[in-house]
Amino acid sequence: MVPIITIDGPSGSGKGTIARLLADRFGLHCLDSGALYRLVGLAAERASVPLSSVDRLVELAAGMEVAFREGAVFLDQEDVTLAIRTEQAGNAASRVAAVPEVRAALLQWQRNYAREPGLVADGRDMGTVVFPTAGVKIYLTASPEERARRRYNQLKEKGLDASLARLVAEIRERDERDSSRSVAPLLPAPDAQLLESTSLSIAEVLERVVSNVQRVYPVLVKQGA
């Protein structure tokens, strides 16, 4: 069993940033599971497949050629890192992720990503469904207003127009959809460490997670030294 660290939480909680920093800290692989559902949504859009067409979505999910390299995401050898980070892609991902057959099609792909020297996996059901025996499970969250503010600042930094009020409404709507779906709903694993990051900096969140990792996987301390 390789060391596995899961970081779950709602959209905008900072789990992706913390996962990447943690993976860099200890030299581990990093799985952005949310990107997989964004990729399915993007593939569906490009193939003109309605998000209500379950069979076609499953075909797309099973046939995607996906690669994560140096912080970039590739779909069928094309860098789509920016294309999957739009609000439209995020909403499509939330709808696609509610389809049980799509989740089943991606499950083994995600589990196969757990290999030496270890894995940091972020998403919404990493600790509850995909890696239920992970040694470290973190559930990272923040208030809807704080998450919207972070997203607003990201969009502004990219020169994109954004409405803070609309972002808050969209985040609340997505939280409701993700937490109420029948399959793999957004919720913390019973043995997850809950971490509320509204008033914490990225550095403070990272150090709290690192402390937990070092306690469970002391061998990783040497790798990250």
14-28, 131-145, 149-163: the lowest-pLDDT one: 149-163
3-state helix, strand, coil in the chain (%, to 5): 55, 15, 30
Lowest mean per-residue pLDDT among 10-14, 159-163, 202-206: 159-163
Strand order through the sheet with 78-79: 66-69, 72-75, 78-79
Mean pLDDT of 129-151: 95
Confidence of residue 225 (pLDDT cuts 50, 70, 90): very low
Would 15 be classed as within a structural domain?
yes
Domain that holds residue 24: 4-214
In-domain check, residue 46:
yes
Q: Does 16 have pLDDT greater than 70?
A: yes
- How many Cα atoms occupy the beta-carbon half-sphere of 39 within 13 Å? 29
* Within a domain: 184: yes
The CATH number assigned to the domain holding 159 equals 3.40.50.300
Q: Is residue 224 part of a domain?
A: no
Please state, in angstroms and rounded to a whole number, the distance separating the CA atoms of residues 96 and 37.
6
**Confidence grade of residue 221 (pLDDT, cut at 50, 70, 90):** low
Residue 223 lies in a domain: no
Structure-block tokens of residue 195:
């971490």
The predicted-structure confidence for 17-37, as pLDDT tens digits, reads as follows 999 999 999 999 999 998 999
Q: Are 64 and 40 in contact (CB under 8 A)?
A: yes
146 within some domain: yes
Q: What is the dihedral of CA 39, 41, 47, 51, to 10 degrees?
A: 150
In a domain, 162, yes or no: yes
pLDDT digits (tens, 9 = 90+) for 66-90: 988 877 899 999 999 989 988 788 8
Please state the domain count of the chain. Answer: 1
